[in-house]
Amino acid sequence: DAGVIQSPRHEVTEMGQEVTLRCKPISGHDYLFWYRQTMMRGLELLIYFNNNVPIDDSGMPEDRFSAKMPNASFSTLKIQPSEPRDSAVYFCASSFNQGAIGAFFGQGTRLTVV
Amino acid sequence: LAKTTQPISMDSYEGQEVNITCSHNNIATNDYITWYQQFPSQGPRFIIQGYKTKVTNEVASLFIPADRKSSTLSLPRVSLSDTAVYYCLVVRSGNTPLVFGKGTRLSVIA
């Protein structure tokens, strides 16, 4: 397996534009997580899914953020409209439904909103 | 979940053994201790997980005393490529999401 695949790797957009980040989890994994990382706040959990169903979205900062998982092999994180303070690295991770096995992270998407 | 406390940063020379200690005083019976490693411009990577005593794999060893209120990640003979941020996490069994703290920034110098 190629691991967790995220696209794009880098995104530069203007304030007010819609941004869509994409994630393909590892095949067979039941859980999918979206994290955001900044220097100031570190790694923050935004939302996670189990079997394509959102379980906890309490980390989503505002209504401008939304996430979907239409099937087991694809998830999106959308920001509309984007703001400069959304600039960060966004990571997607997936894991088996077993507590003893760690989560696997993608390479991340570096988002810059100007 | 139990809060974790670990040093902000550490420096080491190549070839030395590095021990990073993490405290988790309020750990619960069904919690595991897990360590992740993050290189610059990459996502975190699972290193090792344990419940008690000692766990060893090809990357590191994890020492957990009987009271489980702390744990120590041991990296044998570090190289420059071990420069990274190391996160200690307490994970509840049942696949709860990972909650990351600030981690320990390890710098290995020649």
Query: Could you report the per-residue pLDDT of A39-95, keeping only the tens digit for each?
Result: 999 999 999 999 999 999 999 988 999 999 999 999 999 999 999 999 999 999 999
Most B-contacting residue of A60, A105, A110, A111 (CB-CB within 10 A), to test interface: A105
Looking at residue A98, what is its pLDDT? Answer: 55
Q: How confident is the model at residue A1 (pLDDT cuts 50, 70, 90)?
A: low
Closest chain B residue to A96, measured at CA:
B95
Of A103 and A111, the structure prediction assigns the larger pLDDT to A111
What's A97's DSSP letter? Answer: S
Looking at residue A101, what is its pLDDT? Answer: 65
**Cβ contact A42–B32 (<8 Å):** no
Distances from the Cα of A56 to the Cα of A26, A31, A104, B43, angstroms: 20, 12, 19, 21
Q: Does B96 touch chain A (CB under 8 A)?
A: yes
Give the number of other Cβ atoms within 10 Å of residue A112's Cβ: 13
Residues B79 and A107: their CA atoms lie apart, in Å, by 23
Query: Which residues are CB-neighbours of B47 under 8 A, at least 6 positions away?
Result: B35, B36, B37, B57, B59, B60, B73, B86
Q: What is the mean pLDDT of chain A?
A: 93
Tens digits of residue pLDDT in B41-60: 899 999 999 999 899 999 99
Q: Which chain A residues have a beta carbon less than 8 Å from that of B44?
A: 43, 91, 93, 105
Average pLDDT value for residue range B78-93:
93
Report whether B91 contacts B31 (CB < 8 A). yes
Average pLDDT value for residue range A5-22:
97
Tokens read off for B80: 């420059």
At which residue do the structure tokens 């999401």 appear?
B97
Q: Which chain B residues have a beta carbon less than 8 Å from that of A104?
A: 46
Using CB atoms, which residue from A96, A100, A106 is nearest to B43?
A: A106
